[in-house]
Amino acid sequence: MLALDIRDLKKTYKNGVQALKGVSLQVERGDFFALLGPNGAGKSTLIGIISSLVNPSAGQVTICGHDLSSDRAQAMASIGLVPQEVNFNQFERPLDIVSHQAGYYGIPRKLALERAEHYLRQLALWDKHDKPSRTLSGGMKRRLMIARAMVNQPELLILDEPTAGVDIEIRRSMWTFLNEINRQGTTVILTTHYLEEAENMCRNVAIIDHGNIVENTDIKTLLAKLDVETFVLDLRHPVEQVPQSDGIHFHLRDATTLEVSLPKERSLNTLFAALAEHGIEVLSMRNKSNRLEELFMRLVENEQETAA
């Protein structure tokens, strides 16, 4: 059964901007799904329509079997939303913010308070539960929005760049939390600019650009499309001339840093054999960029060329 079923969704704003040009997307229940795309691609509009904050121009959205236009209340009862920007009353206390949200979903006060405490503790915010929320740090505010979104125990949790601008420790604790709730059965849809995050956590991915879905597949299949991988090598001794080898592309960044583009059909052994042949000693190596990031850039660039 699908957690989210979007058919031919279109959105044209009053100023004439066509944000979505007929998006169709299906997300299975229990999935951990990444929705990627450059700024202005239509991600936020898509999330806005799913969460009923944006009215669609055409198309159909079904959330956990409930049609958004004809069965809005049930559809909305099935989702939790963590928006990109802080949207809670910063004069209220975290406990009130989370427990009030539970009340809007028909959860009685006693249970609402229990659940609010549970999620605030899980997200390491309980010691701040009675402080004005404006005094929380940026990372805490994001975790508070996750606690708020979870309080109705949604079947589908949508997070719009939840880890943007938070430090790595908090980001990792969020990953652990999200993995745990996904393991317990909550479907998670995530938009992020950290493609490493999508690669590590998500099973399926859709890439949206210029209001169209340009790729929709599982992460493994997508990564298999990467035909060239680029590595950065730190060298022990400076080299003056760029080495030459059949099928491998070398680029000298500086005297002790070499960039290598290796086609997928060539093994790393071939690379090291070529380096040894030129007497180059490698101290360390790393990917130039995240693999998904490389694919993402190519897909988006292709789309831009097609559009031009």
Partner 1 sequence: MNRSYVNWIGYRTLMRKELMRILRIWGQTIVPPAITMSLYFIIFGNLIGRRIGEMGGFDYMQFIVPGLVMMSVIQNSYGNMVSSFFGAKFGRHIEELLISPLPNWIILLGYLSGSVTRGLMVGIVVTVVALFFTEIHVHNWPVTISVVLLTAIVFGLAGMVNAIFAQKFDDIAIIPTFVLTPLTYLGGVFYSVSLLPPVWQNISSGNPILYMVNAFRYGMLGISDVPLVTSYLIIIGFIFLLGGVCLWLLHKGTGLRS
What is the rounded distance in angstroms from the CA atom of residue 95 to the CA atom of residue 182? Answer: 24
Instruction: Judge whether 36 and 206 are in contact, CB under 8 Å.
Output: yes
Identity of the residue, 160 or 293, whose beta carbon is nearer to partner 1 in the bound complex = 160
What is the SS3 string spanning 248-260?
EEEEEEECCEEEE
Sheet containing 58-63, strands listed edge to edge, beginning at the edge strand earlier in sequence: 18-28, 2-12, 58-63, 66-67
Shortest distance, position 5 Cβ to partner 1, whole Å: 19
Query: What SS3 class is residue 51?
Result: coil
Report in angstroms how near the CB of residue 218 gets to partner 1 at its nearest. Answer: 29
The CB-of-202 to partner 1 minimum distance in angstroms stands at 23
Residues in the chain: 308
Minimum CB separation of residue 179 from partner 1 in Å reads: 24
Nearer Cβ to partner 1 (148/171): 148
Nearer to partner 1, 31 or 160 (CB): 160
Q: Checking phi first, is residue 254 left (phi over 0); if not, alpha (psi -120 to 50) or beta?
A: beta
Q: Which is nearer to partner 1, 66 or 266 (CB)?
A: 66
Residue ranges binding partner 1 (CB under 8 A)? 13, 45, 48, 51-55, 72-74, 76-77, 79, 81, 83, 85-91, 96, 100-109, 112, 148
**CB 98 to partner 1: min, Å:** 10
Q: Which is nearer to partner 1, 55 or 269 (CB)?
A: 55
Torsion sign (Cα): 141, 175, 223, 215? negative
